[in-house]
Structure 1
Amino acid sequence: MNNKVIKILQIFIIYLIGVSSVQAKPLLSPYPKAKLDNSVTLAGEETQLMTKFDPNAEKSKQFEFTKFIGDTAHYAYEIKNVASLKVTKNYENALQDAGFNVIYRCSLSECNSGKYNNGKLISEKTSYFKAYSYYKKPHYIFATKGGDELKAAISLFVGQDENKTRVLLTSVDIKDIETGLISADFNAFKKQNDTKTTKPPRKDKGGSSDHPLISRYPSSYIEDYKQVDYEEFSIPIGIADKKTKKLPTLDVTGDLTQITYVVKNVSTLKIYHNYLSALVKEGFETIFSCQKSRCGYRPTVQKLGDAISISQVYNYWHQPRYNVMKSTFDGQTTYVAFFIGNFEGDSRIQLLVMRTEPLITGLIETNSDKVLEQLKQKGKASIYGVLFHYDKAVIKPESKQSLDVIAQVLEKNKKLSLYVVGHTDDKGSAEYNLDLSKRRANAVVKTLIADYGIAKTRLIPQGVGPYSPAATNKNELGRELNRRVELVERLSDAN
């Protein structure tokens, strides 16, 4: 090979990257006659590159990694009849000519894991693609460019098997993740629900449309779609238990929409950040979230994704990210869950939106005359407007109107004495709910005495927990009916 060809190999080809596009070509030119075996490009990915390897250290301390965020490209090449050393030297020279700083390099025995006596472990830990049997005579390079403000990072593994050499290259164009690509808007509920966004690159599933609350990620298309009015659904709010394999869930009743989107060449991280930022700006709060290994591994991750998808996730479980969010607006609570997984560069978004019915009011209107009528006819009346902080016996400020009504009832009928009875749904243990209902009833009585001047002798608090339901506990509507304060007429000692 003449010097001219060698010089060409040392030329480093850097391609400018657009605002929202991924590297269109390799950051490093391929070795001459190298066969491109596989490639994946991802916009806005979080990539972990190996920065050091010590085969003599404890197993848990052998590897050091650094995470980089930016547009990432992974390549796998195969080269015939060229030694791994020669290929590596050419890549290293090209990097230096382009102003890269080689931070770490290992070769041959320095890359040996001890266990395998070759570069198998190094290739597994450092590469997006598999080295297969090409891990002999290993070489590894980690390099960066940009000094204190890094602009790019490179990870390169080169291995050999007989007369074939395999190159596994990862390059990161370091940049902040672009957000603002997705928008959320509660006001859209007041508009027509069939409003379409810009035309996608591939035809959406027939009859489908974006949910009015949240726009799609740019360049995505709808692969699957389902919409049901007033449905019951169990939204996962945790990963599956290792022993029971069951997912902890939140049971919700409301209008259900499920959409599966597909996006090409965009990382799950970038998509996740855009959905998250759009919903946070609209006042949503996270109930549960997990990313990557915190979501578990393949069976657990797939179970999580399948739980909110229309059909199974299949291979789209890599780089998983899952989030459940909640917001209450105009008396309605909306839940949004999204699971994002990747497969060979394509990301699939499983989006679920549930909009509950308005909070139940008017069952017993906050009107003292109607409450008195109920007490006269049935000897009891249910009050649904006394609200408590979750899992506590602390009354919320918005309960004042209902407390005013109870005080008015006692004021209008001076001879009336009441049992103030707390009720719960059947979620959780009966013993715990019984104690909680007693504490909540006691909190109501204390407030009526302290804030309204009601005589202590006219009120007796009691709690019955889940033992006297007003409706079924099998759905959210029934459970909401069961969570109540009940006024029960009590015969006074004078009677």
Structure 2
Amino acid sequence: MICRFVLILAVVVLALPVSAQPLSVPSSARQVSSRVSPLDSYALPVAPFDGQAVPARTIEGAVDRQTWRVDGTAATTLQLLAPLRDQIQAAGYTLVFQCRDRECGGFDFRFGTEIVPAPDMHVDIRNYRFLSAVREPDKAVSLLVSRGRNAAYIQIIRVAPPGAADLRVEVDQQALPAEPAPEANSLTARLAQDGHVILKNLDFASGAETLEPGHHDSLAQLAAYLRAHPGQRIALVGHTDSAGSLQNNIELSRRRAGAVRARLLQVHGIAPDRVEAEGMGYLAPVASNLTPEGREANRRVEAILLSDR
């Protein structure tokens, strides 16, 4: 009798509808698009671009494609992806493949896999992360996270049998780290407003090209700005006083800018393709070269904001 009751109870439990498990995006995320196909097929990437195509596993079912935009955050792509990855695994999914920009195949991977068209989804080919996961036998999810100049984007594609309960995307109450607002007259505020700024406390003696070791606050601020705006590039432009020939001063000013660039790369970890170094010699003075104070002011390095990558 007891066995029969246990069997009936088990059948009842199995017959109850299983609620979908939540997959929470940050509270600052705003849904941009949702496209649901009741019955479709999805090519789930399972490996990086192999030189010919992106290896994929085709899965059929109800396909739900959603994109989300996150404004005003300083979060990296990993900070955005990691909590979602943990939730996907907690829901019983097994990770099949994960990669970041160049490891994925860069441009070739981005254009070899399914991406919701712009402007609903933006992918910076130098700054994105991807993962795919499956829950046997017929459920799958892929996650693509990228950052642009002013916002981050999240794409979630889910596949499950029609009518089956699965992951549901909802907004979490946990806020992401906000992008700090620059002080009105700070180095980064002037760079954003004017498009260029003089890097203070990078003094060069007349004829010298070596940047002294130690902490330089202006470089720390510039590096923080670049980390908070991963889509932006800068040019460092060296300037000299008027002592010596124009050609020698152009070469000297270029080497000074190169020394500052090397410090940004080596000490602050800025990617090489985000910083250029050039020299103007004495062609763009900010003060008179007739006084010692003026000549000292003219020996400088400026940061110039370039277009987005």
Same fold (TM over 0.5): no
TM range (shorter): 0.3 to 0.5
Q: Which has the higher contact order (CA 8 A, sep 6+)?
A: 2
Could you tell me the TM-score, scaled by structure 1's length?
A: 0.27
Structure whose residues are more often strand by fraction: 1
**For the pair shown, which has the larger CA radius of gyration, 1 or 2?**
1
Could you tell me the TM-score, scaled by structure 2's length?
A: 0.41
